[in-house]
Amino acid sequence: MREGTTIYEIEPWTIRETLYNPQYNRRSETVFTVANGYIGMRGHFEEGMDVPEVDALNGTYLNGFYDSADITYGEEAYGYARKRQTMLNVTDSKIIELWIEGERFNLLAGRLIDYERTLDMQTGILTRQITWESGTGKCISIRIERLVSFANKHVAMIRYTVKPLNFSGEITLVSALNGEVHNEISEGDPRAGAAFKGQVLHTIGKHETGTHMALEQQTSETEFHLWCAADHRANRKYKLKSEQQEQRLEKHFTFTLKQDTEAVLEKGIVYYTSKDYEIEHLPILAESTLKDVMKDGFKALADLQKQRLDEFWETADIQVEGDEKLQQGLRFNAFHLFQSVGRDGRTNIGAKGITGEGYEGHYFWDTETYIMPFFLYTQPDLAHQLLEFRYHTLPKARERAVEMAGSGALYPWRTIGGEEVSAYYPGGTAQYHINADVAHAVIQYTEALDDQEFLRTKGLEMLVETCRFFMSAGDWIPGKGFCINGVTGPDEYTAMVNNNTYTNIMVKDQLEFTARELKKWCDTDPDSYEAMICSPMGLTNEEIDVWERAAEAMYIHRQSGLIGQDDSFLDKGIWDFENTPAEKYPLLLHFHPLVIYRHQVLKQADLILAMYLLGHRFTKMEKVRNYAYYEPLTTHDSSLSAAIHAIIAAELGTMDPAYDFFIQSARMDLDDFHNNVKDGIHAASMAGSWLTIVGGFAGMRQNAGKLHFEPKLPPGWTRYSFRVQFQKRLLEITIEDNLTTYRLVRGEPLIVAHYGHERLVALTQPLIMKNRALQAVIFGLEGVLMPLPEKQDIYFGGTPAQLPLNYVPEEPPTVEMDENGVLGSAGSPSSEGNGKPDHSVTEPPASSVVDGEADSSTGTEAAGTSAGDEKVSSDAQKNTSKDNTSPAQSEPAQESSAAQGNDGEDTVMDTQPSAEWDPTILSNPLSHEYIYREYLMPGSIELLQQLKEQDVTVLLATDRPDAKEIMERLGIIDYFASIIQAQDIEHPKPDPEVFVLAAESVNVHPYHCMVIEDSADCLRSVREVGMKTIGVNIQHVVDHAHFTVASLTHLNAETMKRWMEIP
């Protein structure tokens, strides 16, 4: 697991630096960036930090404002990307220098008495509060506030307050615009910086009058024009002087101040470009906007900023109780996403936001796969704008498809203006899955907002064109089906392969959805269908039919019980992780791509990502096996990896590894886990932390137009809550202990699915559901219900003919346990130890709680019922000490061969063994014809009967082929709703498949199942699929089960239900 360094104070709503350390200067410039989706200002100091010993990147960026240059190749080929696009570092407008009677303020000069820099995520204001003493002993208080306006994307503002503390005299503030700016040159790391050398944004005009100044600039290749202007106002009289340099304008404001009096200078800043407006309109717009801004001042702008952030946090905040550090990280991530995303349908969100120059400001698939879901459920209007960007660039995607000898449209792997700019095609253009990612975003958006207008006017056009490209890129291969060859999937350490499973399954989903929606439209409104899409796009029913056949025949590679990441991945040698030192990561900086490509090694989630996005297309066991195989092969060198692994680990019920991965995404940038925050934030990882909470811990999935939840409480947390917007409703979800509350904040009643049970939630009817309730118990057979062959003489001391029914041995194995026969709990999954379980768990009132659900506080029952749901009986409120005493303990053992049948009537069984019975058979697995009722383990009947009375489903999981016959011979088959045996499974125990299939056979979620087993290996594997476990052979299973008992005589249904709800 990667580790970071925490250098900021842990506070819920602020990022606060109380000690300036030049070592972290550039990292903090990224963290303290303020932006609004268009303008991004790094946290570089107003006075500058131009000293060689301090690493700094003084950057201001405009989302989507770029220049181009030719890409130079050693050898060129047709279809290579021709031009690079780089987001430019633009006019530096932040500059305000402070002079105290001839001495210039600088953090590294004089004496820094007090220092604090704070980014307030509720106000959107970056503040520095400083007390500084000059070389001549003059002390001054400085407060600098900076914001980039959410109310007007063209506006930023700085309020600079100074106060002399031990002197009276002249103080000068020098405000400047500097056009001599350039981008940083990338050296060695392809993820950082640009390839431009020198200045490409040229100053072509300077304008000033009074307190106003402006610079006009133009890009070299794209010929975009930029107009940056600034104006000022102050709270007291000043002397004004103007100065000019070749590409710099300055305004000098000199105040004569008495000790302890303040001077306040406000600087309004605007940026306008010809990408949005005609060139001749730029100065007019700039002047008009500045006039309005300066009239109202900083406070008015700050009030609007707070108002917009209040609206944002109403839907986007995640509240976590029990971990302040993660709480801060989650809010920091959400804040940066909000201030980085384009809002105009013409811009997107770069991999580094607008906080730095990493990846040259390019837009990737990160947007649709990681970032858009965050906005889809918190700020759907912004999600809409992100899709508008893809629709706006569809014509260029069509051009690219033609260039790539394909039909339809091919979106670029990386871009700003819509063209492909990836110079390395194996890791760029070959990632055709970008088309499917955009399509998936369209599908999710349409269902989440029920936006049929967008689907029909724009969405289906994008879907049709991307489907057409995949049909032209794929082939029908005999013996396989429809194949898509020569592609690269999400894992960038495996390139140019055939049938990347992620790509194929995403395309399959896209083809099916598109065909289904087109046919539905044709059936319901044929006239508009013909006019709006069929005729304009030349679409025919025959073409749609081919898509359906391709989807049905889509090839997915399977080998050795696994799903192959592609056709060849499983045939490669495994990377030598053991002998790869830590300093050799990330691999891409230390090994040639061909060395990496020929091994089984992953940079990030690939197949695992498909298991998240299209989880309904995988079985539980496919997820279990493939996660177990691929995760150890993953370096997580990509910041996109940790969150997806956290989500799937949480889904599988392995919360400890899920939480470890989550920590990496939640504070990746605050704690600089990858040591490259200096180049900008990791926007996708930031969104991934939200996905981990909502999609991982809360288990939210959007499927078939409904929201499904499988909530879990992470270790160490006491409560967490979040809100999602869905189909014009705002839903609040609160998870605590063993309960989840669904509360509709606004909108019409909504049906949600909680662990598969659909329920209605309305404004006046919140829904309270149990997260974990005992719905099914899965028994092992040998060693649980009947003894292992080698243990029969221990339990029974003789042949079956000599044994009374339900015989209890006189001297059970000697172990240390409590008065209830319980040795203890092994704790949470993957933990060690044998601490005792907490038997003092308070159960909810029987009148308000049901297994799997609870009524709201209004007293009305939640809508709907389901099999297995029942109200807790009054017995649940009885003394728990009685609950832990089984009938076998409280009643004398029966001395006759008569047994109580399932209907309560006496049943007489033939207990005589066959004449051929041979005692030596005890050392081998018994054939079922040698098994009699007397072989039933002590306490079995009593426990089965109690579970039946409590409406708990009883299941059997064994790899014996004759389990049903054995159940008949033991006389207990009628207790079992389902029996899974050898012929039903592919993988024998200890593989958890048999237990998972047992749960699935009765439609019970594994998280609501409890397994009783005597095998340590089985118990360990079952925990990996999220089931609670009870071990019944305490000598060797204590460290592998959640709870252990000496025998079934020490179990009863009420105790098991209580144990099930213990975290």
Q: Are residues 826 and 930 in the same domain?
A: yes
pLDDT < 50 regions, the chain: 793-924
Q: Are residues 761 and 815 in the same domain?
A: no
981: its two tokens: 């045996």
Domain's final residue, options 290, 314, 338: 314
Q: What is the CATH number of the domain that holds 213?
A: 2.70.98.40
Q: Residue 594: left (phi > 0), alpha (psi -120 to 50), or beta?
A: alpha
SS3 (DSSP) at 940: helix
Q: What is the CATH number of the domain that holds 921?
A: 3.40.50.1000
Domain total for the chain? 3
- pLDDT, tens only, 223-282: 999 999 999 999 999 999 999 999 999 999 999 999 999 999 999 999 999 999 999 999
Q: What is the CATH number of the domain that holds 752?
A: 2.60.420.10
Short-list 429, 433, 552, 578, CA closest to 499: 433
SS3 (DSSP) at 666: helix
Domain membership flag for residue 107:
yes
Q: Domain limits at 896?
A: 776-845+874-1060
Per DSSP, the residues of 185-230 read BP-S-TTSSB---S--EEEEEEEEETTEEEEEEEESSS--EEEEEE
Q: What is the pLDDT of residue 1036?
A: 67
Q: What is the pLDDT of residue 16?
A: 98
Q: Are residues 961 and 946 in the same domain?
A: yes
Question: Which of the residues are catalytic?
Answer: 492
Domain membership flag for residue 906:
yes
Contact 156, 146 (CB under 8 A): yes
Domain membership flag for residue 108:
yes
Contact 560, 570 (CB under 8 A): yes
Domain's final residue, options 733, 754, 771: 771
Short-list 455, 734, 535, 505, CA closest to 616: 505
Q: Are residues 802 and 725 in the same domain?
A: no
Q: What is the pLDDT of residue 197?
A: 78
Beta bridge partners, 266, equal 159, 233
Domain membership flag for residue 137:
yes
Q: Are residues 753 and 884 in the same domain?
A: no
Q: Are residues 723 and 841 in the same domain?
A: no
Domain's final residue, options 266, 295, 314: 314
- Phi then psi for residue 468, to 5 deg, are -60, -40
Q: Are residues 806 and 754 in the same domain?
A: no
Q: Are residues 783 and 889 in the same domain?
A: yes
Q: What is the pLDDT of residue 931?
A: 76
User: Around 231, how many Cα atoms within 13 Å sit in the side-chain half-sphere?
Assistant: 19
User: Around 855, how many Cα atoms within 13 Å sit in the side-chain half-sphere?
Assistant: 13
Q: Residue 971: left (phi > 0), alpha (psi -120 to 50), or beta?
A: left
- pLDDT, tens only, 547-596: 999 999 999 999 988 999 999 999 999 999 999 999 999 999 999 999 99
Q: Are residues 255 and 106 in the same domain?
A: yes
Domain membership flag for residue 994:
yes
Q: What is the pLDDT of residue 815?
A: 37
Instruction: Judge residue 791's burial from the number of C-beta atoms within 10 Å of its C-beta, 0-12 exposed, 13-18 middle, 19 or more buried.
Output: middle
144: its two tokens: 């600098």
Q: Are residues 759 and 839 in the same domain?
A: no
Sequence-separated (6 or more) residues with CB below 8 Å from residue 624: 652, 992, 996, 1024, 1025
Domain membership flag for residue 481:
no
Q: Are residues 171 and 53 in the same domain?
A: yes
CB atoms within 10 A of CB 136: 11
Q: What is the pLDDT of residue 179?
A: 98
Domain membership flag for residue 694:
no
Q: Are residues 148 and 256 in the same domain?
A: yes
Domain membership flag for residue 277:
yes
Q: What is the pLDDT of residue 560?
A: 87
**DSSP class of 734:** E
